[in-house]
Amino acid sequence: MKPGKTYSVSDILKSIFKDKKFEEGLLSAQIKREWPEIVGVKVASATGGMWVKERVLFVEVKSSIIRSELKLISNELVKVINRRMGEDAITDLIVR
């Protein structure tokens, strides 16, 4: 942005959101908020940390059984998450 030029709030916010780390943090927060609706409350309660890095969603799971189940349906979860986020937000899901 150039000094002395007038910008709309929309333009300012767009420039802020272009920061990759900020964008990934915001996306992580949105997915965390909707995670119980996506996978169900019981599965969500077994989930630990969750973050997005370079369009890959990383999810830590406390239960080995739930971890295995999530790995099996990871491709479908990517599709569901992308539909809910309204874009191709993530390309892959890594369950740990």
DSSP label at 87?
S
Residue 14 falls inside a structural domain: no
pLDDT in tens, 3-43: 788 888 877 776 766 677 788 888 999 999 999 999 999 99
DSSP label at 6?
-
Q: φ and ψ at 22, to 5 degrees?
A: -65, -45
Separation between Cα atoms, residue 72 and residue 32, nearest integer Å? 20
* Domains of the chain: total: 1
Separation between Cα atoms, residue 57 and residue 46, nearest integer Å? 16
Residue 60 falls inside a structural domain: yes
Q: Could you tell me the CATH number of the domain that includes residue 44?
A: 3.30.300.20
pLDDT in tens, 47-87: 999 999 999 999 999 999 999 999 999 999 999 999 999 78
Residue 2 falls inside a structural domain: no
Q: Provide the Cα torsion 77, 80, 83, 84; round to 10°.
A: -100
pTM, rounded to two decimals? 0.80
- Domain encompassing residue 83: 20-95
Residue 85 falls inside a structural domain: yes
